[in-house]
Amino acid sequence: MCSRYQTQKDAELLLKKFGAPYKPAGGKYDMWPRYAGVFIRRPVEHDVGDEAVPERETVVGRSGLISAMTKADGLDKAGKLSTVNARSETAAKSHTFGNAWRRAQHCIIPADAIYEPDWRPVYEGRSKTSVATRFTRADGAPLGIAGLWDRWRDAAGQLRESYTMLTINADEDPLFQDYHQAGKEKRGVILPEGAYGDWLAAPADATRDFLVPFPADRLVATPMET
């Protein structure tokens, strides 16, 4: 999966498409690893029985998950790891992602677009560099990417939010199989709109049921000049 994407900044669309009651301040539009971005989840207090707790909330957190299990003396090391993507095959047993997986801390990462590098021009001798390619939904709707969230306590004792995109194999995908370098076969899971609520509420043992390819004919790939 790419490490770059563009988030959804339209508060009205966040409400209409994702059921998010508001868009918090902060977060960037053009997202790279370790940037602050927006994700949607069920509130931590969703099971306390309080009717005032909304069904979903929009949170600003770090792109690149840091586990709640990370100790204070390990934060520097954890912050340098590449954790913007979590391989669905290994996340459950991963030190970084395992806590979020076992606790079913599912989230949706709203995006206008994701970016992948097209290496075919390099392999074919037509270029010395890959071509950045922008992927959007063919119907113009925002993308809802499946993710995991977690929160860690920093050295000052403050809770910090973070998230990661879940990835699956794309070797047989009719669209994504042509992107990324040879051997780097992963991509993020784009959820269908009808699955958003079920995804956020799904137990850990049902996580993999949602990790399926998005129909290739519902996506548009646009090569970028730079």
Q: What global pTM score does this model have?
A: 0.92
Q: Which of 140, 84, 134 is nearest to 113 (CA)?
A: 134
Give pLDDT tens digits for 136-193: 999 999 999 999 999 999 888 899 999 999 999 888 888 888 887 766 667 789 999 9
Give pLDDT tens digits for 118-131: 887 777 778 778 88
**Which residues, 6+ apart, have CB-to-CB distance to 169 below 8 Å?**
89, 185, 186
- Quickly list DSSP for 20-36: -S---S---SEE-TT-E
> What confidence score (pLDDT) does residue 149 get?
98
Q: Quote the CA–CA distance of 112 and 99 in Å, as a whole number.
A: 29
Q: Which domains does the chain have, with CATH numbers?
A: 5-111+139-217 (3.90.1680.10)
> What confidence score (pLDDT) does residue 48 get?
64
Give pLDDT tens digits for 22-64: 778 888 899 999 999 999 999 987 776 667 778 899 999 999 9
| Averaged pLDDT, 58-72 | 94
Q: In the predicted model, is pLDDT for residue 204 greater than 60? A: yes
Q: In the predicted model, is pLDDT for residue 92 greater than 80? A: yes
Distances (CA, A) of 165 to 88, 91, 147: 10, 11, 4
| Averaged pLDDT, 108-116 | 94
Q: Quote the CA–CA distance of 211 and 119 in Å, as a whole number.
A: 25
Question: 13-17, 106-110, 216-220: which range is least confident on average?
Answer: 13-17
**Cβ neighbours around 95 below 10 Å, total:** 12
